[in-house]
């Protein structure tokens, strides 16, 4: 049984949202572009850093989207979406997919995914073609759980987001 609890109004009112956002920004994340088609068949996509793995068996991932987003209905009602994990050289792709522009795909080189024919952006670190399995309302966002149908990856350093800015990793191994 799924249990949920309403956030305490006292706690919500006491938290400064700007300070909370700054604190949350201390957790470095990867940067993705997530794409689908809307009800008319037009491509839509966005930049998101709320991506994470959920399960290996079955293969599940999740990400979240603010319900006020322009592309919300397209993702809420889609059958499939593709998550493109951006490589460190793809800051311009992240910026383009987060800009308020009509055609976020303009000038972006991509190939169609195997099942849904959605865009796999060229030179990404990894991509995941997902069946839109479950959606959960959570505060002002919706959590999308996708079942991974197909995926691939390359040995490319990922693009990171930390403290409100794009960042690059400095990889090292502990001995």
Instruction: List the beta bridge partners of residue 145.
Output: 62, 134
pTM comes to: 0.87
- What value does the CA radius of gyration of the chain take, rounded to a whole number of Å? 17
Backbone angles phi, psi at 85, to 5 degrees: -85, 115
Phi, psi of 145 (to 5 degrees): -105, 125
Total residue length of the chain: 175
Tens of pLDDT along 64-97?
999 999 999 999 999 999 999 999 999 999 999 9
Q: Quick one: pLDDT at residue 26? A: 77
- Per-residue pLDDT, 9: 57
Ordered structural domains, the chain, with CATH: 30-162 (2.30.110.10)
Tens digits of per-residue pLDDT, 1-33? 455 556 655 555 678 888 888 887 777 789 999
Query: Partners of 135 in the beta sheet?
Result: 144
């Amino acid at each position: 049984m799924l249990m949920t609890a309403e956030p305490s109004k006292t706690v919500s009112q006491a938290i400064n949202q700007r300070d909370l956002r700054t604190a949350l920004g201390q957790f470095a994340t990867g940067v993705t572009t997530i794409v689908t088609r809307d009800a008319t068949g037009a491509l839509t996509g966005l930049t998101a850093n709320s991506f994470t793995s959920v399960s290996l068996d079955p293969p599940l991932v999740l990400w979240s989207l603010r319900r006020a987003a322009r592309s919300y209905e397209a993702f809420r009602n889609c059958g499939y979406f593709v998550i493109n994990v951006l490589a460190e050289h793809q800051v311009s792709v992240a910026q383009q997919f987060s800009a308020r522009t009509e055609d976020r795909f303009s000038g972006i080189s991509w190939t169609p995914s195997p099942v849904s024919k959605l865009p796999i952006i060229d030179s990404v670190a990894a991509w995941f073609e997902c069946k839109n399995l479950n959606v959960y309302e959570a505060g002002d966002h919706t959590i999308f759980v996708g079942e991974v149908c197909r995926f691939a990856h390359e040995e490319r350093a990922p693009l990171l987001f930390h403290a409100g800015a794009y960042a690059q990793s400095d990889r090292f191994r502990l001995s």
